[in-house]
Structure 1
Amino acid sequence: MASPPASSGVPAARRPNTAFRHLRGPLSPGEFAAAVRRAARDIGEQVSCDARYIGRVESGEIRCPNYAYERVFRHMFPGRSLGDMGFSPRETVRGRKGRGAPPPEYEPADTDEESDVLRRAFMTGGPAAMAASLGLGPARPHHRPGESEAAAVEEAVRRIRVLDDRHGADGLYRRAAQPLRNAYALLDAGTRRQSTADRLHAGAGELAISVGWLAHDSGRLADARSHYAEALATSRVAGDPALEAHAFCNSAFLARDAGRPREAIRAAQAGQRAAAPLSSHRLQSLLALREAGGWAGLGDRRSCEASLLRAHSFFGRGTSDADPEWMSFYGEAELEGLEAQCWSALGQWKRAADHARRAVALQNPHFARNTALFTAELAGNLARGGAPEEAAHAGQRVLALLEQVQSSRIRAILDSTAQVLRPHAHTAPVAAFLDRHGR
């Protein structure tokens, strides 16, 4: 039974959602949030549900969930409508059409529709528009940030990740600098509660890593190194091992791409030490893969294979509620793709192509950028492994994906593949690829 409609004198956003509270049953908000995350994984959806979110729903602050949460809730409670779960109809909550951001009682959606709106603001509006679209404006003078500001920083991180997953980094990096500055200004303003300070430290650090990744993927490696160092310093100040492990993980990836394999190994090993108390097997798996990439860069096949074995062993232990939110991208497809990169660095082209092919087949369509990346790497491995026509067909698929994904890294891989294929330009598939690539 849905919650009764609000009277004229009581804001709907503050009327408790008793129907949803009934659905939670005897579970605590934290336990119910964990059940929501498990249900999301079951259907391949991505939500960052925690006890705080459940509290916002039950208090009536969130009158209608975003589309991702709606799909998860419908999966958990088959046959129930949003109204049955105590939510208001979406069209009555979203507010006046075309009047800008949705009202605060509407939970922002990470959907294609919402992503397109955000992308237009990010790509055409400049840094200020980007910050505003994320709800992350500058710190107010003489105002101590609280829970709402911490939540805004966390939401900024999520939305930047969604945009990068779907559209790549090139158009986002410059515009992401302002939200990052705003986040650190909030941190510098000081807070009255330690819990809020902890959230702001974690959020600002994660935002620094996200912006660093945008720099990394758009070929600005020195900028990326600076942002990752900033995140690492933030983690040390806050005593946050999860943030520290994340910063080291990205730093290892960057060092490998920058041609510093020994640094990649050291960073990955430091990340594994930081992650030890976190009880996340998937995080340890990813960090072992980062180490494997460093060993491959050194040409040390034995050490690379040992790290790959650890990565697969940790991965096989499955997911858990201890897995960090930012690791939503790390599934079997990513495992295969990163292993392909190791074999490619070792010059094992056929083996690399086999893993890259599996990575493409397993990739969730949501991650358009990763689909383009793994397909580009497949094309390169095939070209170097003596299969030019198959490489050309894969290259054509990448060119189609690059109509929606902007990534200098992927384009560089494709440019290199085109150079390898030029001696085979007499074959029709290769000629067609080279012609389209050169336009």
Structure 2
Amino acid sequence: MTTDAAERHPLAYLLDLRGLKAEAYLLRVAEQHQRMGYGQMAYRKEKASRWIAGVYAPSYHTQLAMAALEGIPPEAIHAHGWPGWLLLALPDHTLFTLPWTTTGAVHALEITGGPVDRRKFLITTSVTLGTTVAQWSAAAPAGAAPTAGRHIGADVPAHFEQRLDSLRRLDDTVGSGDVYDAARAELRLITATLKNASFGEGVERRLFGAAAEASRSAGWTAYDSGKAAAAERHYSTALRAAASADDPVVGANILAFWAIQHYSTGNPRGAVDLIEAALSQAPRTGSARLTSMLHARACRAHAHAGDTRAAGRSANAALDAYEHAGPIEDDLPCVYWYNLGETHQLLGSSALNLGNPKQAVAHFLEASTATSQEAYNGDAFPRGYAIYLARLAEAHLCLGDVDAAVATAHDAVDRMGGVTSARGTNTLEDLRKKLARRRGIPAVADFLDYTETE
């Protein structure tokens, strides 16, 4: 059983919650299985390990016995599937079983905007991801139900949208730590407005769109700060709000950022599903730039899954779509950061994942040598640039060019200074471990000494 699988799976969390070893819990299930007339059931701990790892799923009768043991009705097995129905046995199941309505969306916004959840458990398995995306696709948008409270106009969501745009840009330069708290504060303010004011249908949908973006921002900054479980809940809530907003742009953008978390934490297939759902909405967005970004994210997911052919198709699709992109200043606000240089950085990262460092170096260098408007802007995105430089250094190292690797690694460390990002710090630490294998080279030893932490 891997750590990532254990953190993501509801059964692993349930065992921890009950304070039980797998074999002891399975013994209880086996006894319930026999009481219900289904016969004997093996209860070796390896069985639970395989369920958690996703190698096998329990038989239907075993699931019925487990549900009975947890006091969950049999119909929940059909409604939520394995392991989704197990969420009903957990104390934080409410967020993931709320109805996909405007009322459910507001309730979810209240939960995720409340006290910070310190748990490390990640609820969204591949199965629950698929269910979430399907429910998002089928959800009805907000319809301006009658409300009491002071009437507000379009200027209010416009103010929220401007503030959220500023938060996106602050995250680029100061890092995710403080921006996470600010995004959650925005989320609470927008949620209070949705609950207490009155408005027309258009304003309500824009408010839900702003709430979705605030929750997406909180999700991204939570993930970048190392709060992966909180990020999952924010992304799930953001998608609910996007459904009420009937906004394909914010929905596609949420799915793209959510995919980053999944392909970076050992679930690339789930990431592919998220990106495919986002790409299904791409024609509605009217943005070739956004479409290109989604294809580039698909390339990253396929690369993490080791699928060279699919990654190559997505890379070509990203570059082809970008040829039709208009001026960045006239495009959607959420893709202000995405230009041709960024595309090559993402494709270079994918090539590195696929074991092709020579192609990776070519993409990374292409990112910085494009025309001035299309080159990757490292000054504007120091955290992102530090991460890309670390990957370039790794590619140089794979090719045996230690001098270039060390010089690039120094540049990465200098770029990262002053920006808070657990993701960036972890990337640089991984690079140090790879360089440590060459400690006998003086330049490498000097770099390791220079970057050693107390």
TM-score class, shorter-chain normalisation, is 0.5 to 0.7
Bigger Cα displacement from structure 2, 216-225 vs 283-292: 216-225
Aligned 1:9-408 pairs, distance under 5 A = 142-319=149-326, 323-360=331-368, 362-364=375-377, 365-408=379-422
| Percent identity of equivalent pairs | 28
CA distance in 2 between counterparts of 1:173 and 1:385 reads: 38
1:422 shift after superposition: 1.1
CA distance in 2 between counterparts of 1:248 and 1:424 reads: 39
SS in 2 for 1:424: coil
Q: What is the alpha-carbon root mean square deviation over aligned residues?
A: 2.1
- For structure 2, the residue ranges without an aligned partner over 5 or more in a row are 1-115, 117-147, 370-374
SS in 2 for 1:154: helix
SS in 2 for 1:172: helix
Residue 419 of structure 1 is aligned with which of 420, 426, 433?
Answer: 433
1:340 shift after superposition: 1.1
CA distance in 2 between counterparts of 1:435 and 1:358 reads: 31
1:416 shift after superposition: 0.8
CA distance in 2 between counterparts of 1:360 and 1:207 reads: 31
Bigger Cα displacement from structure 2, 347-356 vs 268-277: 347-356
CA distance in 1 between counterparts of 2:197 and 2:282 reads: 28
Judge conservation of contact 2:149–2:197 (CA < 8 Å) in 1. no
- For structure 1, the residue ranges without an aligned partner over 5 or more in a row are 1-126, 128-140
What's the TM-score once normalised by structure 2's chain length? 0.62
Relative contact order (C-alpha < 8 Å, sep 6+): which is higher?
2
CA distance in 2 between counterparts of 1:359 and 1:259 reads: 27
- Counterpart code for 2:365: R
Judge conservation of contact 1:156–1:207 (CA < 8 Å) in 2. no
CA distance in 2 between counterparts of 1:295 and 1:424 reads: 31
SS in 1 for 2:440: coil
Residue-by-residue CA offset, 1:166-206 (whole Å, 9 max, x unaligned): 12213432343222212222122243222322221111111
SS in 2 for 1:390: helix
What's the TM-score once normalised by structure 1's chain length? 0.64
Aligned residues: 300
Residue-by-residue CA offset, 1:30-62 (whole Å, 9 max, x unaligned): xxxxxxxxxxxxxxxxxxxxxxxxxxxxxxxxx
CA distance in 2 between counterparts of 1:176 and 1:143 reads: 25
- Counterpart code for 1:300: D
Judge conservation of contact 2:397–2:405 (CA < 8 Å) in 1. yes
CA distance in 1 between counterparts of 2:181 and 2:161 reads: 19
1:144 shift after superposition: 4.4
